Amino acid sequence: MNTENNPEEFYDKLKKRLEETASWPSEYLFKFIVPSAKEKIKAIEDIFDNTGAVIKTKESRNGNYTSISVNVRMKDPDAVITMYKEAAVVEGVISL
């Protein structure tokens, strides 16, 4: 997700798409790519602590990056956007 130019505009569009394509509460799959540093992976995992999320990680072939898939039940599009905003503060994170 490219949020660098105008993050609020991006999140507004995302919220609209989420409202149109799902009935809430709903299962949502977050995908992130982070540099393969334990503290960065843990920072993403900590965002979803105590949410009942199923988290899967997979290291890249060269070991430089780790993909993180998080499947969790979200109550509404605003909750999804809140999670994305929390993840955005992790240095080097790419949200897909």
CATH no. for residue 82? Answer: 3.30.70.260
Q: What are phi and psi of 39, to 5 degrees?
A: -70, -30
Asked, for residue 20, whether it belongs to a domain, the answer is: yes
Asked, for residue 2, whether it belongs to a domain, the answer is: no
Asked, for residue 68, whether it belongs to a domain, the answer is: yes
Mean pLDDT of 12-30: 95
Q: What is the pLDDT of residues 48-65, one digit of tens each?
A: 999 999 999 999 999 999
First to last CA, the chain: 5
Q: Give the chain's domain count.
A: 1
Owning domain of residue 82: 7-95
Question: Cβ neighbours of residue 26 under 8 Å, at least 6 residues apart?
Answer: 73, 74
Percent of the chain residues topping a pLDDT of 90: 89
